[in-house]
Amino acid sequence: MVKNNQGERKFSGIAAAPGVVHGPLFSFHQGELEVPRYSVPPERKEEEIARFEQGLMETRRQISAIRAEVEEKVGEEEASIFDAHQLVLEDRALIEDTIQEVVETGFNIEYCFHEVANRYIDAFAQIDDDYIKERVTDIRDVTKRLIFNLLGRDHKNHGFSGMGKHVLISTDLSPSETALLDVDEVMGIVTESGSRTSHSVIMARSLNIPCVVGVHDILEAADFGEEILVDGYKGFVYLNPSQETLERYGRLATEQRHIEERFLEELNEPCVTLDSVELKVMLNIEGVEGHDRMQKSGAGGIGLFRTENLFLSSSTFPSEDEQFEVYKGLVQCMSPNPVTIRTLDLGGDKNPHRSLTGYQEANPFMGFRGIRFCLEHSDLFKDQLRAILRASQFGAVKILYPMISSLVELKRANALLEEARKELEAENVPIGSDIQKGAMIEVPSAAVITDLLADHCDFFSIGTNDLMQYLLAVDRINDRIAYLYEPNQPSVIRTLNFIFKQGKMRNVPVSVCGELAADPLFAPLLIGLGASDLSVSLGSLAQIKYLIRRFSLHETKLLAIRCLRCEDPEAIKKELEAFYEKAMGETIKVLKSI
């Protein structure tokens, strides 16, 4: 925290959702959930279990209503977040453990469920995986809602409505709390914990609410109704901002809107560098939200279709035919542009529940995920491969295997793909003639054997999020050390360069689908290192395409050479910033002066 003579106090956090807002603050203190404990007579235990079942039904109904509201307000992709919430409520292991707790202890159902759920949460929170830790918030959200229903408490508005225009500050926000925000009143969000990739932040970005997370001690410092300014671009928060700060940010907000309008004006222009090299910027998608929206996006195709939501939105796995219809619709929508379908990446927070797989691991998140899960359940995997192959007759399709860590895994996956192909041919089912298969490079063990993997696939796709975390040994969800999660580390740049070089030597294209691809500072470097294409979220597409049209491929190669010579992160950062400022020229000149 920084103080000045005008009473202004400046806080730093993590920029999570872009935008600048200013207004009165409203602090939301969540506190601990108090759950009563009392003994239940043996003859009333069946009543407690029946009450539990009623509570589950009501909670499922409420979450379904929230999902429908989010789908209407924002879109299918954001609404699919709540499919995982529903799956928690259908987890037979959790339900049976709770019933067993009632039988063995004789305590009331609220207390027993709270105890069992906390054991799950504590176990998951200890797992050293950023994505899993983020989803612990989702489990807490569902747990709190169910307990509220069992206790007969109201939890619809959380005190957010009727306040007038305000900036909400809190320790954290759950996805359902964020989904129910009144966007006509909540101008911005500031939380003491959280990460850029949490479900709540994804929801805030989709609702166009500026957000800064990881702002320590702000609840203690802030007073109700105090003026606050939120800078969702750089991660700064000001309590009682000075007139000078308000004027400066007023100019910034105006110019930023003008810049975003410029991005959109060129959205459908060809994505060609100044030296006439055509590049593709494609989309990362979670679900099959809005075909019309994707067709009009200006994207060069789908660079990453995460298929997990098809499997998490139901208590049973979708059939081959059900999957085929989804893939077919997406391929037809994007034709003639390619669609890259990543095969099932269950594991981690996307827990293969006992109701789905027939058993429950003691520790379901460690080790058994991605391609390992698929190879273990080859029948399920082949159903998906068959569905993808069938959809390939309707357009260009690429198959991408997740979490490849060894050549053995890649060979086994390819063998199952070939089996699926031969089965369809024997059944006289038409399939496409040129289906490419690729490997995700997201763990160091895969990065160092790309020369071996290249002989068994047609392309690589780098998942920079996980790759960076494993390389740097940094839990990027831990906001106390998030600053160490620096993509401009020489180790990261050199590892990326090695992957691109191995791909080029063996004529295997290398795309990038992680967050770095959408970073305007790093996109030119990735292209200079050798990226064949970039895949980004819909919100980043216009800016990256606009940027590409303002530099030459030759310039990016020189940038890559300079960065590879740097010995420290700060030197690399300066090179990237200088390149970006030169490429964007007049577009950011005013912003820089502000």
Beta-carbon contacts of 128 under 8 Å, excluding residues fewer than 6 positions away, are 475
- Describe the crossing of helices 45-73 and 81-89 by its angle, rounded to 10 degrees: 170
Residues designated catalytic: 199, 513
Annotated binding-site residue? 476 = yes
Comparing CA positions, the residue from 325, 288, 293, 285 lying closest to residue 76 is: 288
- The reply to whether 480 sits in an annotated binding site is no
**Sequence letter at residue 8:** E
Cα gap 566→109, rounded to integer Å: 60
- How distant is the alpha carbon of residue 230 from its chain centre? 23
Instruction: For residue 7, give every residue at least 6 positions away whose Cβ sits within 8 Å of its Cβ, in sequence order, or none.
Output: 240, 242
| Token code pair at residue 332 | 């037809």
Please check if 275 is assigned to a binding site: no
DSSP state of 392: G
466 a known binding residue? yes
CB 235 within 8 A of CB 13: yes
Using CA atoms of 167, 173, 174, 177 in order, give the dihedral in degrees to the nearest 10. Answer: -30
Contact 109, 37 (CB under 8 A): no
> What 8-state DSSP symbol labels residue 317?
P
In whole angstroms, give the CA distance from residue 549 to residue 546. Answer: 6
Strand pairing class (2-3; 211-213): unpaired
Amino acid at 570: E
254 touches 20 (CB < 8 A): no
CB half-sphere exposure, 520, CA atoms < 13 A: 24
How many other CB atoms are there within 10 angstroms of residue 506's CB atom? Answer: 15
Rounded to whole angstroms, the Cα distance separating 297 from 542 reads 9
**Is 51 labeled as ligand-binding?**
no
Q: Residue 571: how many CB atoms within 10 A of its CB?
A: 15
Contact 88, 94 (CB under 8 A): yes
Tokens linked to 318: 């979708």
CA gap 549, 556 in Å, rounded: 12
Render 104-138 in DSSP notation, one character per residue: HH-B-HHHHHHHHHHHHHHHHHTS--HHHHHHHHH
- Please name which of 520, 521, 511 lies closest in space to residue 540, comparing C-alpha atoms: 520
The structure tokens listed for 399 are 């198959």
Nearest residue to 178 via CA among 221, 209, 134, 132? 209
Contacts of 288-294 with C-beta under 8 Å, sequence gap 24+, read: 288/76, 288/326, 288/329, 288/330, 289/75, 289/76, 289/77, 289/80, 290/75, 290/76, 291/329, 291/330, 291/333, 293/75, 293/538, 294/333, 294/334
The two structure tokens encoding residue 593: 């002066």
Residue 342, annotated as binding a ligand: yes
Known binding residues for Mg(2+) are: 442, 466
